[in-house]
Chains A and B, each alone.
Chain A
């Protein structure tokens, strides 16, 4: 008897065309940066010179790392959920809830104190992860157990967090913005977490049995069921991992400033949606997601520095670039392909 798992299409890195796509992405980014560097060295007094000065400065690197952490981490989480067959459009909500929970718990303990020897800020960090994972768990139950429409349930996760975080902030602190903790997590931690999470995700997805199950659950759940692996269990794992990773991202975002801002779209400001963009742009590849996330965050960081230097570029227009890029990529390149069974319920036949 043939192993049904052999029929599972193995995407991305093993697939030559998709590999080309990711490679051209990397070459494009590196090439642009290289050209910018050369131009900057050749004409130090031009815009190119200023741009090169900004792009290759440590200040920009630091703010890029800070801005990229939530995007890349939530994006990695999105890969796990979607690979398993559950489209998690609620990443934004997971980021919001973890950003708030991390600051709240850290301020309850008191930023100078420690709990069981762990500094308050890191307890807060863990609390953010727990909050995000819990919300992802609710989402998983709703989608897998109660067969809810994944898109609608994902929107609900976003809307609940969008209401709940400012609500709780007002209950505890008397306003939608929390007071500043006076302590923060340095950008080097954010950068390290991003790199570790990306490497670990790549390894898990491509080199472990769990990664194989995850892919099968999204591409051909029937085959997975046939070899005796529970599809629901794999999907629960996928969604919960997206909760954990988004939690790390949300905590890193809030604690890198030491405050939760809950007005308007909250401090997350659509980073969860950019995360979806990042992993689609990176074609479900953790390395591609890292590249896309860093690219988007770098654009934003560069733009902030350009404003400070007095170039009157409307910042909103620069922030629009990622969204337009994704539409163009989806329309023209068309390389990103969602897992075949993503969005569908799977019912075990017993």
Chain B
């Protein structure tokens, strides 16, 4: 398999690396890192170009040699983005100097970790469905429904229990379960439609996102709106029924306990997907549905189960959003579900990869706030970066070509194309080289 003749990487180095890494995982990680780097580079160019077009009184950065002035300083943008998201561990204005007054428990880092925690749940939600060969774009809707279920359950039960930490714990647990049930049921709909009516889950989940957002909005607007509230939102759940921020400042909306729960979920899902009979059903029907059926897997039931589990995870994300970040259900639900897609894709749909991917996006979100405070570059830049990352991660072939060109490729030019790009949902996976015939004949993929 390894191509020693054409490679430009020195053989001793390769011999050193090879035994340690599973090639597919290594390639995944490499592609993700390369995609992030490329996105940052393109974002750099965008900041430069827009800094040239924008109007300002004094140039923020002057390009060496050419002497051209730019309104935005691209180096400063990224310095503020990454340094600021962590709460400035490095002193501002003095590169390389550690900030002595920095502690990990600062507001900015808390905001970053808060975002990370929420993205762990939505990222896992998308990843689980992906492993079953289902593209769940509906995590956003499942999160909206789950969050509303949580808020309403906790608000309904709170008056029945005496105020205090014990009933607080009970409310958090019941509320989170309610979120899981709400999101799970909402996720089961596209699952059942896919399994029993052959309706394409990509389309139905997109539609259900809009339905969830609109129905929840109308429900809260007409029935559950807090009195005297200027926005469409429910009442706040009691303070004692929310995740308490330990160590971090209260305004950061971050609770270490929630992050711990999220990390535990990652471990549990990794075990579930990789080491249980259900996980086996899930993965086989994701890779090759027909073969799974031959092997005795009830593919229809697995589809419904996978979507329900995925929806439940999205719902838990919604519950944590209500009980940790917002304290109530509010109509302006952030795009956590859509970011979950990016997180999952960046993680190669591996539960273990969700943690670093969610942290990266937490940094982007936390850093966006700092960009808004410290620079005059529009914070929407982070939205562009998100799109670019997802675009570049979606094209592994580009990096394989680039890698092959540099002589680092994992397969030769004529060699068998690696089929681990499991990102293409339920479609026949053999469609890369010789599968065109097969897919053309038996191609009743979706409704």
For A153, give the chain B residue with the smallest CB separation.
Answer: B394
Q: Which residues of B contact A277 (CB under 8 A)?
A: 203, 207
Binds B, one of A22-30, A34-42, A168-176, A242-250: A168-176
- As a 0/1 sequence over residues 365 to 393 of chain B, the CB contacts with chain A under 8 angstroms (1 = contact) are 00000000000001011111111101101
In the complex, the answer to whether B384 meets A172 with C-beta atoms within 8 Å is: no
Interface residues of A in 146-199 (CB under 8 A from B): 146-153, 155-164, 166-168, 170-172, 176
Given contacts A323-B207, A345-B431, contact A222 B437 (CB under 8 A): yes
The distance from the CB of A289 to the nearest CB of chain B, in whole angstroms, is 15
Question: B444 contacts the other chain (Cβ, under 8 Å)?
Answer: yes
Among candidates B198, B199, B211, B383, residue contacting A159 with C-beta atoms closer than 8 Å: B383
In the complex, the answer to whether A167 meets B380 with C-beta atoms within 8 Å is: yes
Number of chain A residues close to chain B: CB under 8 A: 60
In the complex, the answer to whether B383 meets A347 with C-beta atoms within 8 Å is: no
Question: A324 contacts the other chain (Cβ, under 8 Å)?
Answer: yes
- The majority secondary structure among interface residues of chain B is helix
Q: Bound complex: CA of A332 vs CA of B386, how far in Å?
A: 36
Question: B439 contacts the other chain (Cβ, under 8 Å)?
Answer: yes
- The majority secondary structure among interface residues of chain A is helix
Among candidates A146, A317, A338, residue contacting B445 with C-beta atoms closer than 8 Å: A338
Q: Which residues of A contact B9 (CB under 8 A)?
A: none
In the complex, the answer to whether B210 meets A320 with C-beta atoms within 8 Å is: yes
In the complex, the answer to whether B197 meets A334 with C-beta atoms within 8 Å is: yes
Interface residues of A in 293-328 (CB under 8 A from B): 314, 316-317, 319-320, 323-324, 326-327
In the complex, the answer to whether B436 meets A347 with C-beta atoms within 8 Å is: yes
Among candidates B50, B203, B393, B435, residue contacting A167 with C-beta atoms closer than 8 Å: B50
Interface residues of B in 380-433 (CB under 8 A from A): 380-388, 390-391, 393-398, 401, 421, 423-425, 427-428, 431-433
Q: Which residues of A contact B226 (CB under 8 A)?
A: none
Among candidates A159, A221, A338, residue contacting B387 with C-beta atoms closer than 8 Å: A159
Q: Bound complex: CA of A328 vs CA of B380, how far in Å?
A: 36
Q: Which residues of B contact A (CB under 8 A)?
A: 46, 50, 53-54, 135, 137, 193, 197-200, 202-204, 206-208, 210-211, 214-215, 217-218, 221-222, 338, 341-342, 345, 378, 380-388, 390-391, 393-398, 401, 421, 423-425, 427-428, 431-433, 435-437, 439-440, 443-447
Between-chain CB contacts (< 8 Å), 25 pairs: A147-B397, A149-B423, A156-B394, A159-B342, A164-B383, A166-B378, A167-B378, A171-B50, A222-B437, A277-B207, A317-B214, A320-B210, A320-B215, A323-B207, A323-B210, A327-B208, A331-B193, A331-B199, A336-B447, A340-B444, A340-B445, A341-B443, A344-B427, A344-B428, A345-B431
